[in-house]
Chain A
Amino acid sequence: MTRYFTEDHEWIEVDGDSATVGITDYAQSQLGDIVFAEVPATGAMLKKGGDAAVVESVKAASDVYAPVSGTVIEGNGALEGDPALVNSDPEGEGWFFKITLSDTSELDSLMDAAAYKAFVDGL
């Protein structure tokens, strides 16, 4: 399994032609207390860079974009009852959705962990 990152602070962990998507620890630490998350419906078709989910802190609403194109297999239902999972375990239990990738070559434009760390360090 390989984990990639976007400049919009999403992570995507790829396992064959399916993947899990969430927001990074850096993103949750900057957003602060998460009070609401809206995840896509199963079967939704996502386009790379398009709106996929919404995360809301006390202060503001933010879009979560699809890091790659694909079809939603599952949204994380646990976030409905416990949106704070995004704060407590952003890169684990706080995942947003799982997708089937439609074009694995789209992964080529994403960052690996080291590149993302350098990107965040430069912010």
Chain B
Amino acid sequence: MRQPASVAATLDRTDMSEEDEIELEPIEILELPLDAWHRDKGARMVEFAGYHMPIQYEGIMAEHIWTRENAGLFDVSHMGQLMLTGDGAAEALEAMVPGDISALKEGKMRYSLLLGEDGGVLDDMMITAVPMGLYVVVNGAVKWDDMGYLREHLPDEITINHMDDRALLALQGPKAVDALKRVVPGVDALYFMEAGSFFWGPKTDPEPLWISRSGYTGEDGFEISVPAAHAKALADQICAQPEVKPIGLGARDSLRLEAGLPLYGHDMNPEFDPVEASAAFAVSKRRRAEGGFFGSDRILNALANGPARKLVGLSVDGKMPVREGAPVFAGDTQVGVITSGGFGPSVGAPIAMGYIDAGHNATGSTLEAEVRGKRVSVTVSSLPFTPHHYHRKGAHT
């Protein structure tokens, strides 16, 4: 169990992901294109994924609630934006991901997983079919590893372009569409998990932006890829809309936890396969029938027979948060471990996710987590904790 730190140690802690962030050799912490913009907005900066990042502006609770009710602008430029080009890129990538990528139509995106050779999850990612090839967004903390792995396993004729000259902004919340369509006309035509190129700026010299209707909060919203040189002007314009406030990584974490969305490196890691990670939906029907991807024997077996353990949501009795690393018991037997946990500002109670052994992970199962030597009752809960509000095609909203 992770021992709580002293107040002073907590204040000194600059790394959001705490002890399990892999320490590389001492390297310079890098600045993202909007570094000065965040500081001007009063952000408290922390080190995350090798970059100085805003953890909060006015406070995690207020920023979380604002995003659920209005719209929040997140800088997620630490994430890796990759462009895969070359004939057969989709088919080649399918050796390493379990989704039906070759069937992806232009302007459509899919959540997928980068698989290790044993079927463990190396990263989760968004893959979009674009005119040039495949636009892939990967997690910042593992993007260098991902690129090395992709290079190792993709044929030489597939080019991997790391678009590190672009920033990535996310505008999330029920009013995101109202705010963004004023700045970038036409974006309201996108549905959830669709993307396209949109012009922004003066008619005489418009800048193309790559915009998707997607996100990591459970709310409607957009992710916007913008050349780094224009990131500040775009962020200023979006934040000038009355619905929008800048939101830090702290609220991003509490929003995604309430939405039941896994955080790579915590709720997913190379030890677990997609079925254990409750991401079986990312294993497409055709791929289940055909197999032929890394770890497909293991993954198809887990699909057929059920995984030995599974990532589930856990609602927590009382008010004491149950956090990452807390063991979970059925009686005297440890049956799992918490991988994400905290307070859900919209739920108004502590919530968690964790891996729980088969036989104990059915929704409604009552278990106990151990926190500072004390047992607290937890109940396996269906995810998400707060309903998703995506703008789905065909849905009545």
**Alpha-carbon gap, A55 to B323, bound state (A):** 13
Interface residues of B in 44-79 (CB under 8 A from A): 55-56, 59-61, 64
Q: Is the CB of B60 within 8 A of A32?
A: yes
Smallest beta-carbon distance B246→chain A, Å: 16
Contacting residues, chain A, for B11 (C-beta < 8 A): 9, 27, 30-31
A7: Cβ under 8 A from any B Cβ = yes
Q: Is the CB of B250 within 8 A of A32?
A: yes
Q: Which of A31, A36, A65 has the most CB of B within 10 A?
A: A36
B326-358 interface code vs A (CB 8 A; 1 in, 0 out): 000000000000000011010000100000000
Interface residues of A in 39-82 (CB under 8 A from B): 54-65, 80
Contacting residues, chain B, for A55 (C-beta < 8 A): 7
**Alpha-carbon gap, A59 to B249, bound state (A):** 10
B10: Cβ under 8 A from any A Cβ = yes
Contacting residues, chain A, for B350 (C-beta < 8 A): 35-36
CB closest chain-B residue, reference A27 = B7
Known: A35-B321, A36-B343. A54 touches B6 (CB 8 A): no
Q: Is the CB of A65 within 8 A of B10?
A: no
Interface residues of B in 9-34 (CB under 8 A from A): 9-11, 13, 16
Contact of B7 among A31, A35, A36, A58 (CB under 8 A): A31
Number of A-B contacts (CB under 8 A): 80
Q: Is the CB of B4 within 8 A of A54?
A: yes
Interface size classification for chain A: 20 to 34
A107: Cβ under 8 A from any B Cβ = no
A112: Cβ under 8 A from any B Cβ = no
Query: Dominant SS at the B interface?
Result: mixed
B8: Cβ under 8 A from any A Cβ = yes
Known: A32-B250, A36-B320, A56-B321. A8 touches B8 (CB 8 A): yes
B388: Cβ under 8 A from any A Cβ = no
A83: Cβ under 8 A from any B Cβ = yes
Q: Is the CB of A56 within 8 A of B6?
A: no
Smallest beta-carbon distance A54→chain B, Å: 6
CB closest chain-A residue, reference B8 = A8
Contacting residues, chain A, for B286 (C-beta < 8 A): none
**Alpha-carbon gap, A10 to B16, bound state (A):** 24
**Alpha-carbon gap, A10 to B10, bound state (A):** 13
Q: Is the CB of B320 within 8 A of A10?
A: no
Smallest beta-carbon distance A22→chain B, Å: 11
Q: Is the CB of B5 within 8 A of A63?
A: yes
Known: A9-B11, A35-B319. A62 touches B372 (CB 8 A): no
**Alpha-carbon gap, A95 to B28, bound state (A):** 40
A25: Cβ under 8 A from any B Cβ = no
B254: Cβ under 8 A from any A Cβ = yes
Interface positions of B (Cβ within 8 A of A):
4-11, 13, 16, 55-56, 59-61, 64, 250, 253-254, 319-321, 323, 342-343, 345, 350, 372
22 A-B pairs in the complex with CB atoms less than 8 angstroms apart: A7-B8, A8-B7, A9-B8, A27-B7, A27-B11, A30-B11, A32-B250, A35-B319, A35-B321, A36-B320, A36-B350, A54-B4, A54-B372, A58-B250, A58-B345, A59-B60, A60-B13, A61-B4, A61-B321, A62-B4, A62-B9, A63-B4
